[in-house]
Structure 1
């Protein structure tokens, strides 16, 4: 694993820890904007700024809690593109509820 990939992987896991803790500042520290992702429902989502992410944070937290969510785990993480100043990761994530499912 080259240094850029290693740094991106470490950043991702710091972000995931912050996400599971619902720590918006920790999440923002690891994100770049605009932030573009494909959701679990196969929808393209774009957050143009930190403020966009902050505005969605509380609603996202409420939706997760309504599902009995307790944490998100990563079962697969792979590099799909890498260069000297950018790395793109793809991951498979699963939500866990209080019953461990």
Structure 2
């Protein structure tokens, strides 16, 4: 395991959830490589731009979404330029009550010296996830 890569990948994830919860579009975009890919069930979604990603996230999370927390971030594999993370995603409504929890595999890569999420595969139970 490459500890420096793991630390960089976890930093990306912490910055991503902070930016997501702050609804900071520019900061979210800094944590993702584009195009960005997501496999949920048998469907692959490709976001070509930050705007396309943000519009889709809000549609998936729903109007009652308040914030997201990572239940865990566990490194599964790593090398100098790529890390696979086992992630537990916990979403809460605006009053702090749980909405949904699901596991996801995130792939964090270093491209041109920048660490960001390149893709993920989700076990979300609902199409809105």
TM-score range, shorter chain: 0.7 to 0.9
Q: CA distance change for structure 1 residues 28 and 60 in 2, over 3 Å: closer, same or farther?
A: same
Q: 1:83 aligns with which of 79, 91, 112?
A: 79
Q: How far apart are 1:11 and its partner, in Å?
A: 0.9
| TM-score, structure 1 as length reference | 0.77
Structure ranking higher on relative contact order (CA contacts 8 Å, 6+ apart) = 2
RMSD after superposition = 2.2
Q: Secondary structure at the match of 1:100?
A: coil
Unmatched 5+ residue regions in structure 2? Answer: 98-129
Normalized per residue, the structure richer in strand is 2
Look up the match of 1:46.
45
1:75 Cα deviation after fit? 0.6
Aligned length: 96
Structure 1 residues 20-56: Cα deviation after superposition (integer angstroms, max 9, x where no partner)? 11212111111123322344xx35443252x2x4124
Structure 2 contact 66–95 (Cα < 8 Å) conserved: no
